[in-house]
Amino acid sequence: MEIVTAVGHALWMAFTMLWQIFWGLSLGFLFSAVIEVVVSKSEMSKLLPDASPRSLTVASLLGAASSSCSYAAVAMARSIVRKGGDFTSAMAFQFAATNLVLELGVLMWVLISWQFAAAEFIGGPIMIVVLVLLFRFFLSDSLKSEAIEQANKGIAGSMEGHAAMSMGEQHGTWKQRLISRDGWIAISHSYVMNWAMLWRDIAIGLLVAGALGAWVPDSFWQKFFLVSHPTAAMIWGAFVGPLIAVASFTCSVGNVPLAAVLWNGGISFGGVASFIFGDLIILPILNIYRKYYGGRMTLFLAVTFYLSMVAAALAVEALFQILGWVPKERHTAVVDAAISFNYTAVLNIVFGAVFIALTVLFLRTGGPKMMQMMKSGEHDHGAPGHMGSHKHAHPEHPGHSE
């Protein structure tokens, strides 16, 4: 009976967390879908010919305008490399595509506080700068050439179909894409694809966060995160955050509920940032790096990515401490969540309607067929870009991306 009660408590906590975040997810995925359609990335590789400040800035901006799914971001980065884009700029794009996206910031703000959203958007560029410096000092030409040669073999990883769609050609101006019927069809497809890509990570993240929140006492977290030793806690949190992400196996927005639990338990402010940053070194993604770039480059990426995450987390911690922006309260809304008719309920109703409307549009305009084509491409076509564009995925709507 005690086991049933404990499981029920964990599931209830997971459900209340979902109640708190649903509208934020829907809003974030809508932002992401609109940007995905409005911003043209078909010439991305030509925009990233080297690792100059200009190329790195463009890579970061394009990454911020792309998917928040780590797997799709990794696939798109490999596509940039295969199309002749600079390897370092491709990695900068990858970092931005998972850490500088709007939906992640929205969730961090809703679930914990605005300071954490700010930390992500400030820490992301710092992390990219550190990564670029590490690459310039330690990445040899021979290792880079070896990785590019491996990338050109086109071995399939994950989310290849989504990467091909995102990298596909787009037509017309951004205004034409935004106000046209075909543009909104494309938005509905991208919106539903975001849910399709991330629902497992979200579900796992909620269940893990619910279980830890319900079963693990605060006293354990406080000892583990060295709460009684503030200076040591700041350093330890930054170093251990990405390792917890590796152990959790979730990525992107799926990590946010667990981040709330960790913050409630006593991890440092910078530790939360480094934990969220850590989604690019979880074990399944390291295995994809191995397929894409080979074993030696995978080890190099794992080490440099980890060091960049830690350095960015420590910098953010120091900056926010100086500015007095580190929150004093540790009782996050997601951990103390309760279901009642308040602004959260109203927002859930509004964005639930958005979810239904865009899903219906997706179903009525060839969305399931497109998704099936993408899944087929993911397994059967190693070369990115075989789909070309949204246009190819929707023959019944020849102007789909315009």
Q: Is the pLDDT of residue 398 over 50?
A: no
Q: How much of the chain, in percent, has pLDDT values that exceed 70?
A: 79
Helices (H) and strands (E) in the chain, counts: 20, 0
The domain spans of the chain are 10-393
Q: Is the pLDDT of residue 10 over 90?
A: no
Asked if residues 56 and 128 have their Cβ atoms less than 8 Å apart, the reply is: yes
CA pair distance 157, 127, nearest whole angstrom: 25
pLDDT band at 41 (very low <50, low <70, confident <90, very high): low
Instruction: Name the average pLDDT for the chain.
Output: 80
Q: Is the pLDDT of residue 134 over 90?
A: yes
Q: Give the per-residue pLDDT at 395.
A: 37
CA pair distance 333, 103, nearest whole angstrom: 18
Q: Is the pLDDT of residue 65 over 80?
A: no
Q: Which of 47-61, 130-144, 361-375 has the highest mean pLDDT?
A: 130-144
pLDDT band at 70 (very low <50, low <70, confident <90, very high): confident
The residue-averaged pLDDT of 22-39 equals 72
Q: Which pTM value belongs to this model?
A: 0.74
Kindly report, residue by residue over 368-388, the tens digit of the pLDDT: 887 777 666 544 433 333 333
Q: Is the pLDDT of residue 21 over 60?
A: yes
Q: Which of 6-15, 46-55, 338-347 has the highest mean pLDDT?
A: 46-55
Q: Give the per-residue pLDDT at 306.
A: 97
Q: Is the pLDDT of residue 143 over 50?
A: yes
Q: Lowest mean pLDDT: which of 7-16, 322-331, 343-352, 389-398?
A: 389-398
Q: Which long-range contacts (CB under 8 A, 24 or more apart) does 378-382 make?
A: 378/156, 378/158, 378/159, 378/160, 378/161, 378/162, 379/156, 381/156, 381/160, 381/164, 382/153, 382/154, 382/155, 382/156, 382/160
Q: Is the pLDDT of residue 389 over 80?
A: no
Q: How much of the chain, in percent, has pLDDT values that exceed 90?
A: 32
Asked if residues 142 and 331 have their Cβ atoms less than 8 Å apart, the reply is: no
Contacts of 160 (CB under 8 A, 6+ apart): 75, 377, 378, 381, 382, 384
The residue-averaged pLDDT of 67-71 equals 67
Q: Give the per-residue pLDDT at 6.
A: 75
Kindly report, residue by residue over 87-113, the tens digit of the pLDDT: 999 999 999 988 887 778 887 887 788
Asked if residues 59 and 89 have their Cβ atoms less than 8 Å apart, the reply is: yes
pLDDT band at 258 (very low <50, low <70, confident <90, very high): confident
For 201, the token pair is: 């990570």
For 264, the token pair is: 């409630």
Q: Give the per-residue pLDDT at 375.
A: 63
Is residue 274 exposed (0-12), middle (13-18) or buried (19+ Cβ within 10 Å)? buried
Q: Give the per-residue pLDDT at 402.
A: 31
Kindly report, residue by residue over 229-250, the tens digit of the pLDDT: 989 999 999 999 999 888 776 6
More reliable by pLDDT, 187 or 299: 299
- Look at the chain and count its residues: 402
Residue (of 91, 153, 145) closest to 384 by Cα position: 153
